[in-house]
Structure 1
Amino acid sequence: MLCENCGKNEAAIHLTQIQNNETSSRHLCEPCAEAMGLSTGGQPATAPLADFIAQMGKSMAAETVAAAGTCPSCGLTLTDFKKTGRLGCARCYSTFDTSLRGLLRKLHGGTQHSGKVYLPPDPTETDRTARVVSLRRSLARAVEAEDFERAAALRDQIRRLEAGQEA
């Protein structure tokens, strides 16, 4: 598609504007977009979730930063986390536990994991038990929702796990 402004170059910027509930789209090449005062980038794209977490991290108090220290495993500091929105390793969760609780509560509504449990290829008894507990909660929700096909499938998975088979 050619630039709507000059008609010569290939359009690289696709601008959509909504004003007074009316949508207008323009397709511009980089030189025309720059001439109109639009930034054409130059910075690498970042993950929206990482940006959001970084913004949430900026609201953490300065005394929390001093108290948390540095992760002994990867060397990440809470200040680094606030800048990037990413933790360095699994041990960061326990290192920055007190600082992350408020952030996780804001993002997820709680700090207790309630999703699926990862089951490694050769699960230990603890992993199997955690998986069975998770499946039982899902089974209860399926029964409450009267989704009996899903409930039957979950029941069968639970039986296989309790028998020591792979689910």
Structure 2
Amino acid sequence: MDTTSSHREIPMKCDECGGENPVIHLTEVEDNETRTLHLCAECAEARGVHGTPVPENFLLAGVLAQIEGSGTKVNPGPGSEGSGSGRCDFCGLTIRGFKESGRLGCPHCWSTFEGQLRPLLHRVQGAVQHVGKVYLPPDPSASEREKRLEGLRRKLDRAVDLEDFERAAELRDQIRSIRKAAT
């Protein structure tokens, strides 16, 4: 299994000053808009943002090594004897391979190594279930408004074709009114 990346990494720059190697990666959520800022230490300090910088080459493998060294017990999961010899039947990844790379080989690895992964995920993320973003359903009135505008545009085109300019002006004003109300 090849774990090398096929894309060339582009050096990241600080979003504030343009300097090299930002050390703070801040995600701001405001009015359901998400924005990620990459800040160097100086710009982060100027914004009052403090935190433990995450190394550019951070891998889960480092966290695993810390857990192993701390005496934290990790329960072996199905397909594992707990000695690092468990193997995914689908891709062949071993728990030892996961600990070295910090990456699972395939979706089936979760089933194979679940016993080891659950406590680890709980410790690293504070939960074992990914919640993700919550998306708002589309506004039904917006699609109704678009249908109405489409109908008015067709009527406007027809009125212009028939040279009924008074009717065309009325339709144009209705379209403007609906657009203005939508903003």
What is the TM-score normalised by the length of structure 1? Answer: 0.38
Larger radius of gyration: 2
